[in-house]
Structure 1
Amino acid sequence: MSRRQVSVNRVRSAPDQLLRRLFRVSRPQPEAPPPPGALRIATYNVHKCVGTDNRFDPDRIATVIRELDADVLALQEADRRFGRREGLLDTTALERDTGLRMVPLAMAAGGHGWHGNALLVRNGRMVEAYRLRLPGGEPRGATLVELEMAGGARLRVMTAHLGLLRRHRAQQVAALLERLAEADDTPTLLLGDLNEWRPGQRSSLRALERDFGPVDRGPPTFPSRLPILSLDRILCRPTGLLSGLAAHETPLARIASDHLPLTARLDLATARPEAMAEAA
């Protein structure tokens, strides 16, 4: 390699290095083999199926969902925003191709979720589901779903798409924690686009740390073409059940939405035996 080539490579890599320093982006680490029986978890803001090329294409989103091979998948912006709030995906085809079934959360016929939040599950059964209204200056909602997975394991999944303003996100986090305050020790996931990229004391998610552990760590997922912000989260209580947290960065995922999907592995077998017994 010539001196000129070395110089050009350094110049090309400089912006990427600067962005990583500014936003504390860590380089992805090799994923360890998942424990036997672990569930694959994913969350994906599908941006109403409009890609970074401004094309509306639900088939691309469906293809990315097939790539994810998830057992539990939370979607944000899965419905039309106005009018009848109809769902944007072919759920019959998705179930046929992936085994994922949509949890019935929509208020309107033909909708996928609640305020755009949808939940799909493979090899699991809904026990109870709740629609939660969140405070703030714009309509926002969250969902809380109690599941029974294959083999009888219990799992609670809360999905959310938090607001754009920090003070509203802080209020919404407080509302989510209040809803969970009286819940039992069933392993609980919090999934979604939490819209927070600030680390440390400036983060609107700090109150979650008591239950869910550190909230600053996470692969960048936005914008999908050059991800530098960790807007999407997969959190779990009790801590220690998640592994292999990673952004799903494939050529199609970079185009299909303005967010990359976020994935992780959940090992319910490592949950405390007394907690699992209480939840059964």
Structure 2
Amino acid sequence: MAATAQPASSADPSPRDRPLSVMSFNIHAGIGTDDQLNLQRVADVIESEGVDVVGLQEVDRHWGARSDFVDQAAWLAEELDMHVVYGANLDQDPLEPGQPRRQYGTAILSERPIREWDNTFLPKYEGHEQRGLLRARINVRGVWATVYNTHLQHNDANERLEQVAAIEELIGEPDESVVLLGDLNAVPTAPEIRELVDDLVDAWEAGGAGEGHTYPAEDPNARIDYVLTSGDVITRTAAVVTTDASDHLPVKADVLLPGSHVGLGS
């Protein structure tokens, strides 16, 4: 007797969601709560947490004596065997001719290859530090995701609002999953954060427990470091990681990218 064919929708299971572990970590140029430079501590935190993607802020690249003129992004990538892209928001001439340029900014480390990337400067007021939005696009077992990393102005809420507006415009209305990592220098009740979570989901609110304070590391009393996602991403857990490697504590989230997006994009 011939078998009766079943409709594909009932015979084929839905593609499984793709797990992804992400972290935002302001590394303070590798200087810990003891005021000592020790980039290995930063690497140890990332390795011990087993994260797939990390957005780093305050990353030196041949910047100066405080970090021994090391390319910190490249050093961490090699130490952790991860892919890396770097956004140089400050870019200055070397102290001596022929030496590498002195740079300071953000980086994204990824276990998976980074297919495309760019860094876009954000609005800044006169006399303030240049900030940027670093973008990296990765493929997680057939699901494309765009990871953003930023570090907003620390002492001007109006400037942060303008920076947030620029970020929202740059993200636009994406066709694929989005993760925004960053030291946003504002607490969850601030207007600039409320503006962001009109379109994005705060992973801490979705999967964290407690206050989630990340700063200052020795006695944290403010939540200013974030993992935000597009609405199609499911947060399973969110946690603050205790460490003395920086003046900030990193925030980590385990999320699921939608399996329904398998095969979309290129």
Retained in 2: the 8 A contact 1:213–1:239? no
TM-aligned CA deviation for residue 128 of structure 1: 1.5
The offset of 1:198, in angstroms, is 5.1
Structure 1 residue runs without a partner (length 5+): 1-34
Q: In the alignment, what sits opposite 1:7?
A: none
How far residue 147 of structure 1 moved from its aligned partner, in angstroms, is 1.4
Q: 1:228 aligns with which of 205, 211, 221?
A: 221
The aligned counterpart of 2:265 is: 279
Alpha-carbon distance in structure 1 between the residues aligned to 2:246 and 2:41:
9
Aligned residue in 2 for 1:89: 72
Offset at residue 167 of structure 1 (A): 0.6
**TM-score calculated relative to the size of structure 2:** 0.76
Note if 1:238 corresponds to 2:227.
no
Q: 1:227-261: per-residue Cα shift (whole Å, max 9, x none)?
A: 12111000100254222111011xxx1x2111011
- 106 and 135 in structure 1: CA distance in 2 versus 1, 3 angstrom threshold: closer
Partner Cα distance (2:30, 2:148) in 1: 22
Match of 1:47 among 20, 28, 36: 28
CA distance in 1, matches of 2:221, 2:246: 15
Shift of 1:75: 0.4
Identical-residue share of aligned pairs (%): 28
Unaligned runs of 5+ in 2: 1-15, 92-98
What secondary structure, in the 3-state scheme, does the structure 2 residue paired with 1:256 have? coil
Please state how far the C-alpha of 1:172 moved relative to its aligned partner.
0.4
User: Aligned residue for 2:147?
Assistant: 157
Name the residue aligned to 2:251.
262
- Alpha-carbon deviations, 1:138-169, whole Å to 9, x = none? 211111121123x2321101100001111111
Verify the 8 A CA contact 2:61 2:73 in the aligned structure 1: no
Q: Secondary structure at the match of 2:46?
A: helix
Structure 1 residue 40 displacement after superposition: 1.2
Q: Which has the higher helix share?
A: 1
Amino acid at match of 1:102: V
Deviation of 1:215 after TM superposition, in Å, equals: 8.0
Equivalent in the alignment of 2:38: 57
Are the structure 2 counterparts of residues 180 and 148 from structure 1 closer, same or farther at C-alpha, using a change threshold of 3 Å? same
Q: Counterparts of 1:154 and 1:121 in 2: how far apart (Å)? A: 13
Query: Would the alpha carbon gap of residues 216 and 195 (structure 1) be closer, same or farther in structure 2, given more than 3 Å must change?
Result: farther
Partner of 1:173: 164
Q: What is the DSSP-based 3-state SS (H/G/I as helix, E as strand, rest coil) of the residue aligned with 1:246?
A: strand
| Alignment map for 1:1-280 (pairs within 5 Å) | 38-79=19-60, 87-89=70-72, 91=74, 94-96=77-79, 98-103=80-85, 105-106=87-88, 115-122=104-111, 124-137=112-125, 138=128, 139-149=130-140, 151-164=141-154, 165-181=156-172, 183-197=173-187, 199=189, 202-214=190-202, 217=205, 219-249=212-242, 253=243, 255-268=244-257, 270=258, 273=260, 275-280=261-266
Corresponding residue pairs, total: 232
